[in-house]
Structure 1
Amino acid sequence: MSTVTQTLTEPLKTLHLRSASPENTEKPGFKGTKYDHDKDAGGEKDSTYPYAWALPTFNNTTYPPLTAFDHKDPGLEALKHENPREFLQNAQVSDLTPKFGADVSGVQLTQLDLRGKQQLARFVAERGIVVFRDQDFQDQTPQWMLNEWGSTFGRLHVHPTSAHPEGHPEFHLVYRDMSKTFNYEFTDRFTSSVWHSDVTYEEQPPGLTTLFLFDSPASGGDTAYVSQVEAYKRLSPSFRAYLETLEVVHSGVEQANFSRAGNRGGTVRREPVENVHPLVRQHPVTGEKALFVNKQFSRRIVGLKHEESEAILNLLYDHLAKGVDFQVRVKWSPRAVVLWDNRITAHSAIVDFDSAQDGRRHGARITPQAERPFLNKN
């Protein structure tokens, strides 16, 4: 028997839970030098900034609802390869923890052929999150980044509310400088940390995700990741068995309402959706089971009373947030590229720097959609 998602036709009442995100800085060398930012997003840009093409813009373009599509993970092909880590044969690989995360030097992502990308997809699925150092990725054309890279791993997602480079809505930008931010702020809370997986309200949420920074402070602005596979495994067998019977409503309504209230960029390109996903999902390549809940977009467990749903969801949110022994913290270095599997990890930006003092943080995310979440019940 297989559990899959279903789309809700009537919106549900949702809690207003804001999302965390990246910040800002200086020049490609991460030396802490500040550039004058454009006076207004999409307006006059500083011509000396080499990545001015990727500065944030908003427009009034609207898009129809997303439609379903067939997705075959490229990592499935790598299951047939005799040496599935052949693409790493000249690389230096360090595990961030024994079971989660890896740090890689000595391989250029831009030089991988299709076979190498298939092996990469399997490797990221196995490790959850992988940092690739000293890349030339940031200097490729946006067309290459989207068409030759991102599209390999799924249909490119256009975020319904975030900023993007002019003419390239498939990039989700993270941006903060001394005068503005196009991501959420947390002046009314102790911490900016919000563990989440990206846009899980979609019928087909993202799979292998790419994040890279054009510009960053000399220190701070790290990104934290948590393994939802290991989080699942830490639970007792009887509790895991019960969770596997449950489904959760994921909603994009509050994110859209936040923008409609004039925040972020005040833009909603596509009407928000809500979908029901299994609380525990299975990875199509590794077969591993993982928790699939996050405080930003999960709203309630289907069929339970409010108090029951809140008790279970809050327990799981707390479990993920406090699981230091199945988390990693990625320190960004110049020209690093971070890949993670959004199906089996959650993450949080760490907003620990002062934009006015430390500079601009400017990055882009490429977010290919994957299959509908499923759980095979044997």
Structure 2
Amino acid sequence: MATTITETITEPLRTLRLRPESSEKTEKPNFKGTKYDHDKDAGGNKDDAYPYAWALPTFNNDKYPPLTSFEHKDPGLEALKHENPKEFLANAEVSDLTPRFGADVSGVQLTQLDTRGKQQLAKFVAERGVVVFRDQDFLDQTPEWMLNDWGSFFGRLHVHPTSAHPKDHPEFHLVYRDMSKTFNYEFTDRFTSSVWHSDVTYEEQPPGLTTLFLFDSPASGGDTAYVSQTEAYKRLSPSFRAYLETLEVIHSGVEQANYSRAGNRGGTVRREPVETAHPLVRSHPVTGEKALYVNKQFSRRIVGLKQEESEAILNLLYDHLAKGVDFQVRVKWSPKAVVLWDNRITAHSAIVDFDSAQDGRRHGARITPQAERPFLRKE
């Protein structure tokens, strides 16, 4: 089941300070005794002092029809025509998280980017895989701006079939955990909560450039790990890569829906689950680079192989991704940070290393534009 990432504040919620100084006295929100109600704020009583009460999780029983296909043109393709595709970073400080994967950027306000700047941003995220933008005023914008002016620029907005969302804004996928409620998958019968995945890959047109930001975060912990599926592909032998490029994998949303139908995460299934075959290796439309396209959350079997053959290959690749510390990064959240990643070429995992009863609440939102149907460009 898909986990996602969040963080939480531990001081009074009139100001946004995700990581308070240890010398400050903190006051944690108390949601104990809150009665769960599908039509009310599932995360607890609304606190008018909390500036992001509009984004507290709710569930409903709305039913949505199946998604339809659409034509997607990646905005990064336009940046290929620009004389200087990194023009939007002219006044920024950019630090690579590793030589080939990830970047940390200060000095750019995402809300101030024009069309040209957002096209260049899409290309940059496609090249680096995951990019952290610090000290953003993103949280100060209206939800309508976040969805319509920002998210929709990068593709058709995805509405998650089972997750919580803010009232009247189903296009946000919320991640939430406090001392009494959690709306993401928890694993109490395993050694670790880490689950590497790419988001909703069971869709015919899974997400591309994805935005995540946190309203509320614990003082420490709750980092997010990312792995480059491009670098993971490059580490394989040429002959093995050639074989994998002949294969397709079934990605399934059935298990996720069944988990909700069993009464978890609000018990909501808004859209019937689908299974879709995607190439095991896909090409990025902007960079042209190839990447593995499998993840343990949603990949189920390789088309045309016997069960033992399929499981042997998939488990090898899952193990490869999970153990590839030299092509992974760990993103540490800071106040007002916004993280962008390309869901086509990366996988990620929440790091649930905090105790919500002691360390505070995690509350964040993901904007998830869909992209093209995965394809493999033959050389």
User: TM-score if structure 2 supplies the norm length?
Assistant: 0.94
Q: Give matches, 1:1-378, under 5 Å.
A: 18-26=1-9, 27=13, 28-30=16-18, 31=20, 33-37=27-31, 40=36, 42-43=40-41, 44-378=45-379
For 1:339 and 1:348, locate their aligned partners in 2 and report how far apart those are by CA, in whole Å. 14
**Structure 2, unpaired ranges of 5+:** 21-25
Q: Structure 1, unaligned stretches of length 5 or more?
A: 1-17
Report the CA distance between 1:377 and its aligned residue: 1.4
Identity level (%): 85
SS at match of 1:315: helix
Q: Aligned partner of 2:175: which letter?
A: V
Give me the whole-angstrom Cα distance separating, in 1, the residues matched to 2:369 and 2:165: 15
- CA distance, structure 2, for counterparts of residue 124 and residue 157 of structure 1: 19
> By how many angstroms is 1:47 displaced?
1.2
For residues 296-347 of structure 1, the C-alpha deviation after alignment (integer angstroms, 9 at most, x for no partner) is: 0000000000000000000000000000000000000000000000000000
In 2, the alpha carbon distance for the partners of 1:40 and 1:359 equals 19
Give the distance between the partners of 2:35 and 2:271, measured in 1 at CA: 27
- Give the whole-Å Cα distance in 1 for the aligned partners of 2:5 and 2:129: 20
Q: Deviations over 1:207-231 (max 9, x none)?
A: 0000000000010000000000000
Q: RMSD value over aligned CA atoms?
A: 1.1
In structure 2, how many angstroms separate the alpha carbons of the residues matched to 1:130 and 1:289? 19
Tell me the TM-score normalized by structure 1. 0.94
Change (3 A) 1:92 1:23: closer
The 1-side partners of 2:171 and 2:321 are apart by 29
| Cα contact 2:7–2:221 (8 A) shared by 1 | no
1:48 CA drift (Å):
1.0
The residue type paired with residue 368 of structure 2 is T
Question: Which residue number in structure 1 is paired with residue 23 of structure 2?
Answer: none
Q: Secondary structure at the match of 1:369?
A: coil
Tell me how many residue pairs correspond in the alignment.
361
Kept after mapping to 1: 8 A contact 2:8/2:215: no
Q: How far apart are the structure 1 equivalents of 2:266 and 2:338?
A: 26
Which SS does the other structure have where 2:267 is aligned?
coil
What is the distance in 1 between the residues matched to 2:279 and 2:167? 36
CA contact (8 A) 1:23 1:181 kept: no
**Partners of 2:116 and 2:28 in 1: how far apart?**
40
1:138 & 1:25 partners in 2: Cα distance?
14
Q: Distance in 2 between matches of 1:177 and 1:294?
A: 27
